[in-house]
Amino acid sequence: KMSSNPHIPAWAGPLASDDLFEMENTRTDGPRAIKLGGKSHHILGRSSTDATITLASPTASRVHALLVANKDDGVVYLIDLNSGHGTHIEGSKLPPNKPTALKAGHEVRFGALDGGARYKVTQAPSSRKRSAEGDAGGDSK
């Protein structure tokens, strides 16, 4: 059996706190919430053997997408692993293998418009790169 392990980017590293990121299921099936749980990444997909988080959708690929925390800028990225029906953020299809930053409020769909696994990002860290100077306790957004 061929291993379908995706390439994990060199910049992957766990978030400072697991409270920084959460995606909530907006449908009834599948895991209710996705968190990183102190890990630098999760493999999302339909396969219970190859994926660390199983997406309950027949249109999700066995290994569908990669959720990765960036240890350099503190942001969580989603990478579509050339899935059959695609990964969409706010209705826009992600180009395969290109990291896209997730922001709080983003609607994410894994798989087809009809029956894909749907999540909403409820918590997401914003970049801490540019806000290092002159940042008095972060924005209150």
SS3 for 15-83, per residue? CCCHHHCEEEECCCCCCCEECCCCCCEEEEECCCCCCCEECCCCCCCCCCEEEEEECCCCCEEEEECCC
Residue 141 pLDDT more than 60? Answer: no
Residue 4: what pLDDT?
A: 63
Distance CA 92, CA 46 (A): 21
pLDDT higher at 4 or 99: 99
- Secondary structure (DSSP) of 105-121: T-EEEES-TTT-EEEEE
Does the pLDDT value for residue 2 go beyond 80? no
Is pLDDT of 98 > 50?
Answer: yes
What six digits make up the tokens of 35?
A: 């968190």
Token pair in block for residue 64: 């569908």
pLDDT surpassing 80 at residue 28: no
Rounded Cα distance between 86 and 95, Å, is 9
Name the pLDDT band for 75 (thresholds 50, 70, 90).
Answer: very high
pLDDT at 51: 96
List, in order of start, the domains of the chain with CATH numbers.
18-123 (2.60.200.20)
Q: Residues 44-52: what's their mean pLDDT?
A: 95
Confirm if 65 and 87 have CB atoms less than 8 A apart. yes
Q: Is the pLDDT of residue 133 over 90?
A: no
Predicted model pTM: 0.85
Eight-state DSSP code of residue 12: B
